[in-house]
Structure 1
Amino acid sequence: MSSELLDALLMLEKEKGISKDILLDAIEAALISAYKRNFNQAQNVRVDVNPELGTMRVFARKDVVDDVFDPRLEISVEQAKSINPNYQAGDVLELEVTPKDFGRIAAQTAKQVVTQRVREAERGVIYSEFIDREEDIMTGIVQRQDARFIYVNLGKIEALLPAAEQMPNESYKPHDRIKVFITKVEKTTKGPQIFVSRTHPGLLKRLFELEVPEIYDGTVEIKSVAREAGDRSKISVYSENEDLDPVGSCVGPKGQRVQAIVNELKGEKIDIVKWSKDPVEFVANALSPSQVEEVRVNEEEKATVVIVPDNQLSLAIGKRGQNARLAAKLTGWKIDIKSHSDAEKLGLFNNQPLFNDKEDFEDDELSTEEID
């Protein structure tokens, strides 16, 4: 140990973000281990490190007792009083036992232990930083790829992008810059492990927060998100300010805001609809871009029958049922879509009951369940 110890600790604290106190604790633990191993001592000891002076001292700690059974750990009351008359049974006495050549041996022996503690402390700092970033968005750089993961450099650590969380319409090349959604931060024996996603609905929500100031400041609220990553998404928005158009705020001037998000998601189509607490209005909005004639609601079943013009039926259902499926996910309501002609045949315009029975709805060829 030298007088430069303090400077070294302060440098590590500044460069690595590790507390000086953590490093001192690591050094003291390493020196205790070195002392016991190199000097064949099994006694209880304490090491005092003074970084300002660059000094270290080893103290043997012994319990003051009436009857001594282990002289390495205990000292009699009489012996203790000969050192200091104020000692009594139950006290702990400390005697300095620093060997002359301890500094050299300690420096050699403690290096590996200190390095390990520094590494653990660094991992702890990284974990603390990223655990607060769960469900947040970050920009990373693609590093490499194997059969299971794409490895994305987030600055201090490589995150794992599993195959199931990769967008089907994207290819990832080394050095590509991509935005990812942090889904999980785990503490492992090898350090923190960060899992990220490009398909999570939360990524879409965070992208809108970045691009739309009204969402970031809370003027416009994202109520729900439904997403089929790489293909199409729906997002519902709401504002308590009646003079503000929440959909227009998200679209932006000449569509610039939503287009920036579409570009980030490599062409994924995004429908922005206005949220409403009225399920009739909300379900009708959610089926955008199709037109809706009427929405009938069954509160008990949390189900709806939606009547659309004949020429809008395929648009309302969407390719492979996608539009109806996303609308159902967005609203949380089952959606059964009928064309105007079918509704007339079923007598829905003559006060026909909404559902003859639960089975009719579940077996209908256009029900949300079968669309899925």
Structure 2
Amino acid sequence: MSTQKSELIAIMEQMEREKGIKKEEILNLIETAIVSAYRKQHGKDINAEAHIDPETGAMTACVVKMVADAVEKPLLEMSVNDAQAIDPKAAAGTEIRIPLDVNEFSRIAAQTARQVIVQKIKEKEKEAIISDYSKRIGEILSGNVFKFSNRSIILDIGKTEAVLPPEEQIPGERFSVGKHIRAVLVRIEETPKGAQIVLSRRDPLFVQKLFELEIPEIYEKIVEIVRIEREPGMRTKMIVDSKNPRVDAVGACIGVRGARIRPIIEELNGEKIDLIHNSRDAFKLIEEAMSPAKNIQLSVRSVEDKTVEVIVPDAVLSLAIGRTGHNVRLASKISGWNLVVTSEATKKLRDEEKAHDKVAVVSQIKGIGEKTSEVLAKAGFASIQKIADASVDDLTTLQGIGPKTAEKIIAAAKLSIQSPEDATTDIPASKKVSKTKVKAEPAQSKTEVSGDNLGKGSAAEEAITEPAGEKKTDAEE
């Protein structure tokens, strides 16, 4: 037995040197296994102890009982007479250790030692592998599909297995057993079964690492990936910047006839990739971010809210928005602006409605015709108050309005504010102008009013409804 024990110690010491498995851990597990085996045979409540000398391998075992005058629990207690037969000094209230024959435990010890050593070796090897892979987070790993667990894909990556969970898969992808897959290592997860290597094909980091593998300029840090926004399976938008003025960042990524970017798109199963030049000009950045939509116009709605309206030709409206809105969504994220897409037709209709509203407001000043209202509204005089606050010089800069007409317009606006009911009292009845619009002949009268509503003499000249045209001079007035 002593020879076997010394051999056992020698094996444990060798495993400690080669595998890093501590001898004390194995000895503790063997001792626990011996105690468990004894309890299984003689009762689970029994108090047993086992000890193996870490130097010689000598094994001892005993049962611990309490000495009592009256024994109530035979498994845990012993009478004083029986205890003194073992140890004459035993007394009630003290513990006594009853030696056990260790020969019956030798087989258990050897078998347990073998199992524990094998288990510890596997655990240590797995810990070493996990430790190695924990230093490789962010790298692309490749492996073959080993099996499927629920919706997760288990990959054989060589030394161990890795998992590609459903939330890290690209929507719509399908794989079969044995299929070769590349994915990026994103984390090491602790599970009840131990540490688990988690891969991802959905993370934007996967796209970044593919570019680093395929584009030498990115790997060599000549071209930098500034930002990536992605909707897996649909589209990726990426801002790139060149640290060398002689190297075009986008061109370097695309390659001749797309030779460089094509393998990346194939790896992503046809996912669209938009490359954007890095720029401090927000409008330029947004224009590129809205790709594939071209010939767009931009208008800032709110600087505080960072909102920009993107006006696109009707023919490319669907491209600008993208399926389920993914294109404008990604463009908003990567540019940092809230983008609102509007078609040219909608913009034109809205502008016409706004212009009409402005003209309608100005037309509330009695005595001003529609043509003059349009001229004032287009010039920014879209409210009665603004017209009342204007100077004659402000209005005479507008086409078709002379000094006298300007004075009458301002006076009518002020009167309209002060007394809306009597806004036209300063204009003779014979000179009031109907708001009925008539079709003007280009070569005839410059006014836009009906001839039936004009007085005799110079009423047409004194009316404040001059149409757009050449501005009257003081001599003409």
- Which band: TM-score by shorter chain? 0.5 to 0.7
- For 2:268 and 2:337, the matched residues in 1 are separated by 27
When residues 41 and 293 of structure 1 are mapped into structure 2, their CA distance, relative to the original with a 3 A threshold, is closer
- For 2:319 and 2:132, the matched residues in 1 are separated by 46
- For 1:112 and 1:56, the matched residues in 2 are separated by 18
TM-score, with length taken from structure 2: 0.54
Task: Return the offset for 1:58.
Answer: 7.9
Which is greater in Rg?
2
Post-superposition CA distance 1:117-148 (Å, at most 9, x none): 22322232232223333343211111122442
8 Å CA contact 2:183, 2:200 repeated in 1: yes
8 Å CA contact 2:13, 2:23 repeated in 1: no
Say whether 1:338 aligns with 2:342: yes
Say whether 1:327 aligns with 2:331: yes
Query: What's 1:302 paired with?
Result: 306
| Partner amino acid, structure 2, of 1:273 | I
Task: Return the offset for 1:232.
Answer: 2.2
8 Å CA contact 1:280, 1:296 repeated in 2: no
* 2:189 aligned to which of 186, 196, 204: 186
| Partner amino acid, structure 2, of 1:232 | R
Query: What's 2:152 paired with?
Result: 149
Query: What's 1:72 paired with?
Result: none
Query: What is the number of residues matched between the two proteins?
Result: 301
When residues 147 and 107 of structure 1 are mapped into structure 2, their CA distance, relative to the original with a 3 A threshold, is closer
Say whether 1:176 aligns with 2:175: no
* 1:272 aligned to which of 270, 275, 288: 275
Where in structure 2 are the equivalents of 1:207-218 lying within 5 Å?
Answer: 207-218=210-221
Post-superposition CA distance 1:59-114 (Å, at most 9, x none): 9xxxxxxxxxxxxxxxxxxxxxxxxxxxxxxxxxxxxxxx9999877533322222
- For 1:205 and 1:45, the matched residues in 2 are separated by 56
Post-superposition CA distance 1:196-238 (Å, at most 9, x none): 2222222111111111122222222212222222232222211
- For 1:22 and 1:283, the matched residues in 2 are separated by 59
Query: What's 1:248 paired with?
Result: 251
**Secondary structure in 1 aligned to 2:230?**
strand
Post-superposition CA distance 1:234-267 (Å, at most 9, x none): 2221123222111111112331221011111122
Query: What's 1:204 paired with?
Result: 207
Q: Give the RMSD, CA atoms, in angstroms.
A: 3.7
Question: Gapped runs of 5+ residues in structure 1?
Answer: 14-19, 49-54, 60-98, 353-372
8 Å CA contact 1:224, 1:330 repeated in 2: yes
Question: Whose strand fraction is larger, Structure 1's or Structure 2's?
Answer: 1
Q: Could you say which structure has the greater relative contact order, defined with CA pairs below 8 angstroms and 6 or more residues apart?
A: 1
- For 2:137 and 2:340, the matched residues in 1 are separated by 37
Moved more, 20-29 or 234-243: 20-29
**Secondary structure in 1 aligned to 2:187?**
strand
8 Å CA contact 2:314, 2:345 repeated in 1: yes
| Partner amino acid, structure 2, of 1:335 | L
* 1:47 aligned to which of 49, 54, 64: 54
**Secondary structure in 1 aligned to 2:261?**
helix
Post-superposition CA distance 1:301-325 (Å, at most 9, x none): 1222123344433332233423212
| Partner amino acid, structure 2, of 1:279 | A
* 1:226 aligned to which of 225, 229, 238: 229
Where in structure 2 are the equivalents of 1:1-372 lying within 5 Å?
Answer: 1-2=6-7, 5=11, 9=15, 13=18, 20-30=19-29, 33=32, 42=49, 47-48=54-55, 106-297=109-300, 298-347=302-351
8 Å CA contact 1:250, 1:258 repeated in 2: yes
- For 2:150 and 2:57, the matched residues in 1 are separated by 52
- For 1:167 and 1:313, the matched residues in 2 are separated by 27
